[in-house]
Amino acid sequence: MSMNSDKPVHAAQTSFTVADNCLQVGNVSLTRLALRVGGTPFYAYDREVISAKIHTLRSVLPAQLALHYSIKANPMPAVVQHLAGLVDGLDVASAGEMQLALDTLTPSERISFAGPGKTDAELQQAVAAGVVLNLESVNELRRLQRISGELGYVPKIVLRVNPDFELKSSGLKMGGGAKQFGIDAELVPEVLAELANMDMEFLGFHIYAGSQNLNPEAIIEAHAKSSAMAIRLADIARQEVRTLNLGGGFGIPYFPGDIPLDIAPIADHLHRCLERVKLALPKATVALELGRYLVGEAGIYVTRVIDKKMSRGKCYLITDGGLHHHLAASGNFGQVLRKNYPVAVGDKMQTMSDELVSVVGPLCTPLDLLADQMPLAHAEVGDLIVVFQSGAYGYSASPMAFLSHPSAREVLV
Ligand SMILES: *Cc1c(COP(=O)(O)O)cnc(C)c1O
C-alpha cells in the first residue's frame, strides 16, 4: 500500500490492503462493509489475517509443539470457531468460555480451564464436560476432589504453578512473587503428595509468566526456566507428565517505536528445549497458549465521525464510538502512560495526514479519547475512523454499558 505521507506507515497497517483510497477487510471495502454490518461502530476481524499469522508461526515452531488459543483475547463465537480449526487446543477461563469452546469441534480433552476462583458450579460443569482443569490452589484441588467424588467422574487435572521467577519486560506480570494465580512452586511437592491419594488423572503442569512481551530474550528465558522447573517437579509426581503448557505472552506492536516480536530465536530455542523435555518427560506434549498474538493484528475498530469542532486552536473529531467499546485504545486498560494506538481515516487511506486532531467518543468524560493530537487525513462528518491492532482485548474487555450507548457490532470477514 502507499501512503502519501511523510509519516512512516505503522507496521499494524500492513495487515490490511488499500484500494481506491479505502481500507479493505477480506477484499471488502470498509465503506461497503459498514453498510453490510448495518451501522457503526463495529469491530471487523479478517479471517485470512488470522490464518496467515498461524501458518507463519507454525512454519518455524517445532512440529510437535501444540498451539492453543486463549479465548479471552477474543471470544466472538465466529472467531473461536475459525481458530478451533487452526490450533490444537482451546484455553478458557470461565464456564461461559468453556461453552464457546465446547461448541467447536475441539475434543473436550483439548480444552483446558484455568483461572482463580472457579466456583463449585463451574468445577461441576467442567468435570461433566470432561475438560482439563488447571488448578490454581490447594483449596481448589480439595473442592474438586469432593465434587468429582460426588459426581462419580475422574477429573483430568493440570497444576498451574506460580513460578519462582518473573517474566522480564512483560506488559502484565502473571507469575512470580505473590500472585492469585497458580500454586507457588515451592508448595507443589506437598500438593503432589496429597494428590497421590486422590482419584484424579494428573496430566502435568501449566506455567504462565505474563502477557504482551516484545522481548525475545525474556520469552526464551521464561521457556527455559519453566521447562527446567517442570522437569524438576515431574520427578516428584507419581503419575507421568503428559502435558506441559509453557504459557505464551507473545506481544504485538501497538505504539511508535514498538518492534514486532522476532519469533525466529524463540522458535530456535523451542526446538532445543523440546529435545530436553523429550528426554526427561518422554510422554509429555508441550504447548504454547497464545491469545493476542494470534488475533490482535487481525482486527480493527471502526467508528464514524459525528461532529468536528475547533476548541481554542485544537481540532476534535467526535465519533459514535469510544472508550465504552474500546477501553484499551483509550489508554485505560492497564496502561501507565497513555499512547495513541495506530489510527487512520479508513476511507481516506492515501490522503496526506496533514491535520492534527484528537479523536474522541460521545461519552461525558475526558477519558474517552481514541487519538490525542495525531496527524490524520483531513476528515469530515461521515468519514470512518479506524483503530488498528484491535483484534484482542477490544470488544469483550470494554465497559459496553457505561453511559448506555448502543453496543458495538462485530463481524468476521
Ligand atoms: C490471558 C491469558 C493468556 C493469553 O494471553 P495473551 O497475552 O493474550 O497471549 C494465556 N494464558 C493465560 C493463563 C491467560 O490468563
Res 7 pLDDT > 80: no
Q: How many C-beta atoms lie closer than 10 Å to residue 384's C-beta? A: 25
- Spell out the CATH class of 107-290: alpha beta
- Judge whether 127 and 148 are in contact, CB under 8 Å: yes
Whose grid coordinates read 490524520?
376
Atom 2 of ligand 1 has which residue's CA nearest to it? Answer: 70
Give 235's contacts (C-beta < 8 A, 6+ positions apart): none
Q: What is the DSSP letter of 154?
A: P
Whose grid coordinates read 532445543?
272
What pLDDT score does 176 carry? 76
Question: Does domain 17-46+298-412 fall into CATH 3.30.310.80?
Answer: no
Distance, CA of 74 to CA of 71 (rounded, Å) = 6
Reported as a pLDDT band with limits 50, 70 and 90, residue 9 is very low
Calculate what percentage of the chain has a pLDDT beyond 70.
95
Q: What is the mean pLDDT of residues 309-331?
A: 98
Annotated catalytic residues are 364
**Distance from the CA of 357 to the center of ligand 1, in angstroms?**
34
Cα four-point dihedral sign 61, 66, 70, 75:
positive
The mean predicted confidence, pLDDT, of the chain is 94
Res 288 pLDDT > 70: yes
Asked whether 182 lines ligand 1 (CB < 6 A), one says: no
Establish whether domains 17-46+298-412 and 107-290 are of one fold.
Answer: no
**Distance from the CA of 208 to the center of ligand 1, in angstroms?**
8
Asked whether 289 lines ligand 1 (CB < 6 A), one says: yes
Q: Ligand 1 atom closest to Cα of 289?
A: 10
**Distance from the CA of 234 to the center of ligand 1, in angstroms?**
24
What pLDDT score does 155 carry? 98
Residue 98: alpha-carbon gap to chain centroid = 16
Task: List, in sequence order, every beta strand (DSSP E) within 20-110.
Answer: 22-25, 28-29, 42-45, 66-70, 89-92
At position 151, the amino acid (one-letter code) is: L
Distance, CA of 96 to CA of 62 (rounded, Å) = 32
What pLDDT score does 2 carry? 40
Asked whether 209 lines ligand 1 (CB < 6 A), one says: no
* Residue-wise pLDDT tens digits, 11-45: 456 789 999 999 999 999 999 999 999 999 999 99
| pTM, 2 dp | 0.95
Q: Ligand 1 atom closest to Cα of 160?
A: 13
* Residue-wise pLDDT tens digits, 180-232: 999 999 999 999 999 999 999 999 999 998 899 999 999 999 999 999 999 99
Asked whether 248 lines ligand 1 (CB < 6 A), one says: yes
Which of 151, 241, 242, 157 has the alpha carbon at shortest distance from 198?
Answer: 157
Q: Which residues pair with 287 in a beta bridge?
A: 66, 245
Domain ranges of the chain: 17-46+298-412, 107-290
